[in-house]
Copies of this chain bind each other. A is one copy, B any other.
Amino acid sequence: MRIVVKIGGSLMKEGVPGPLIKDVAELSPKHQLVLVHGGGDVVTDFATRLGKEQRFVVSPEGIRSRYTDRETADIYQMVMTGLLAKRLVLALGQAGLKGVSLSGADGSLLLGKRKARLVIVDERGRKVAIDGGFTGKVQKVNAQLLEVLLSQGYVPVVSPVAASEAGEPLNIDGDRAAATVAAGLHADAVIFATNVGGLQLDGSVVAHLTPAEAASKLPKIGFGMQKKVMAAVEAVEGGVREAVICSGTRESPLTRAMAHDSCTVISPA
């Protein structure tokens, strides 16, 4: 099977998630794995240390995001690709695997377009349009580089950075990047490994949702999980057989995700 694994930012704060890397080593002889990682909090820490205080904006739908000006885009790219992705590759190396870290610029993997404008809610609750800065949406996935690397036994590690048409780094959402990569690779599954164990509603983990059911639940879901559910729906609508939201901190997190053990599975059936 071909599986894309999104490693949530919460798992990247303190080094790398050991049980998950160990599971990648267990699974990779039989399966093709691609890792996509987050890590926004680490970016914020470094930006603050560099004297570049980060600003966060909120959309009318309540989605909070980093306001990415040009300098922030460089810092974002630097920490994501030069620190966090390399930590994963170094850890994969220690586990006997050959990781290769990529941003969207490498091999033109993820080509995006800058958002011209962002509509945000200002401090008085009014909607205002501001310059979109260096965030974007992926418009094209060139999966060829991933295909080449997978065919040669490498484990690609993808950072949530796209390349703009003008050759700038763009901040893209990691969950949606994972969904886009999974769809572009015609993956069998995408696993969203988090620090919680799937989507909880009314006190228990929801075992299964169709994309339509998932979409209807969105208003009841908190922000971080909402983004994952939306990305899961995008992946399934893009042709991925199933999206699994699962704990990435327990032992054998990927093997258990594939077995649907205490996870939320989003799939058509």
Contacts and interface: CB of A to CB of B under 8 A. Distances in A.
B83 A167 contact: no
Contacts of A5: none
A100 B145 contact: yes
Contact of A107 (B91, B145, B154): B154
Contacts of A93: 105, 108, 163, 167
Oligomer copy total: 2
A231 interface: no
A169 to B, nearest CB: 7
A66 B211 CA distance: 54
Interface string A137-165: 00000001100110010100000000100
Interface string A67-95: 00000001001111111001001110110
A188 interface: no
A133 B182 CA distance: 40
A259 interface: no
Nearest to A157: B106
A124 interface: no
Nearest to A50: B49
Contacts of A74: 83
Nearest to A80: B82
Given A80-B82, A83-B77, A102-B100, A90 B168 contact: yes
Nearest to A83: B78
A101 interface: yes
